[in-house]
């Protein structure tokens, strides 16, 4: 029987969700934004926020015993369609080959300073 394990990152113990959940061989990473760095400082610009977002995803995956190379699906949420090309420039640095399946949407995010949010699913037997 597959087991379920919550992955909780430091300073998120009181969040109403887990940073990720491992369910059997799959790891589901919650939506991650890049509007603030690990020290809580604001991050501005779509490329910097995309990089921060993916670095956060990378840290969550590492805590779960996986890496970006294990990612099989990514969902990208952008607030502005014109940010698409610059987000992709950074995204392809993190996924240079064997890229995961991906869905992207243009939508509002919870706070106005947020330009991008990503969630992903990794497969790590």
**Do residues 33 and 53 touch, judged by C-beta distance below 8 A?**
yes
Distance separating alpha carbons of residues 78 and 117, to the nearest angstrom: 7
In this predicted model, what pLDDT tens digit does every residue of 78-118 receive, in sequence order? 999 999 999 999 999 999 999 999 999 999 999 999 999 99
pLDDT band at 2; cut points 50, 70, 90: low
Task: Please give the average per-residue pLDDT across 31-44, as a whole number.
Answer: 91
What whole-number distance in Å separates Cα of residue 54 and Cα of residue 17?
19
- Per-residue pLDDT for 16 more than 90? no
Reduced to 3 states (helix: H, G, I; strand: E, B; else coil), residue 81 is helix
Model confidence at 14, pLDDT cuts 50, 70, 90, reads confident
pLDDT at 24: 94
Q: Are 80 and 87 in contact (CB under 8 A)?
A: no
CATH of region 4-123, choose from 3.30.1330.40, 3.10.20.440, 1.10.10.10, 3.30.70.370:
3.30.1330.40
CA distance 6 to 64: 9
The ranges assigned to domains in the chain are 4-123
């Amino acid at each position: 029987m597959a087991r379920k394990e919550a992955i909780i990152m430091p300073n998120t113990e009181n969040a109403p969700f887990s940073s990720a959940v491992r369910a059997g061989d799959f790891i589901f990473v919650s939506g991650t934004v890049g509007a603030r760095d690990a020290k809580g400082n604001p991050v501005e610009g779509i490329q910097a926020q995309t990089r921060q977002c993916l670095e956060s995803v990378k840290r969550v995956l590492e805590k779960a015993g996986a890496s970006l190379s294990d990612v099989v699906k990514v969902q990208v949420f952008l607030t502005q369609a014109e940010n698409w090309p610059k987000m992709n420039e950074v995204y392809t640095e993190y996924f240079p080959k064997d890229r995961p399946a991906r869905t992207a949407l243009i939508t509002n995010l919870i706070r106005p300073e947020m330009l991008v949010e990503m969630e992903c699913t990794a497969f790590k037997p």
